[in-house]
């Protein structure tokens, strides 16, 4: 009986840990999205990557409302076709 209660208690602790971890990740992602919005208000040509835009959509934060460009939309100083490192 003690082994069963110990296993049950240990399983409950593992479940609490996993749920806390998931909750913390969600809060961290939402914070990052709000940070992106704040930075877009400070910096003129601010951009976000595709994964950042997708992450914020999961949290119902639409970055296009804040004129945040996709990284692919940003013009770079060097054209990748002239870069000898690109094959």
CA dihedral over 25, 28, 30, 32, signed as positive or negative: negative
Question: Comparing C-alpha atoms, which of 58, 60, 63 is closest to residue 40?
Answer: 63
Q: Tell me the chain's radius of gyration from C-alpha atoms.
A: 21
Beta bridge partners of 70: 48
* Predicted local distance difference test score (pLDDT) of residue 57: 92
Coil/strand/helix, residue 69: strand
Q: Is residue 42 part of a domain?
A: yes
Mean pLDDT by groups of 10 residues along the chain of 87 residues: 63 87 91 92 85 91 80 58 54
Q: What is the pTM of this model?
A: 0.63
Looking at the structure of the chain, the number of domains it has is: 1
Q: Is residue 18 part of a domain?
A: yes
Range of the domain at 40: 2-75
């Amino acid at each position: 009986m003690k082994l069963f209660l110990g296993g049950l208690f240990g399983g409950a602790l593992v479940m609490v840990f996993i749920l806390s971890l998931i909750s913390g990740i969600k809060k961290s992602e939402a914070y990052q999205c709000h940070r992106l919005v704040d930075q877009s208000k400070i910096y003129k040509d601010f951009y976000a990557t595709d994964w950042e835009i997708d992450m914020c959509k999961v949290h119902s934060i639409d970055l296009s409302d804040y004129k945040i460009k996709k990284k692919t939309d940003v013009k770079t100083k060097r054209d990748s076709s002239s870069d000898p490192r690109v094959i």
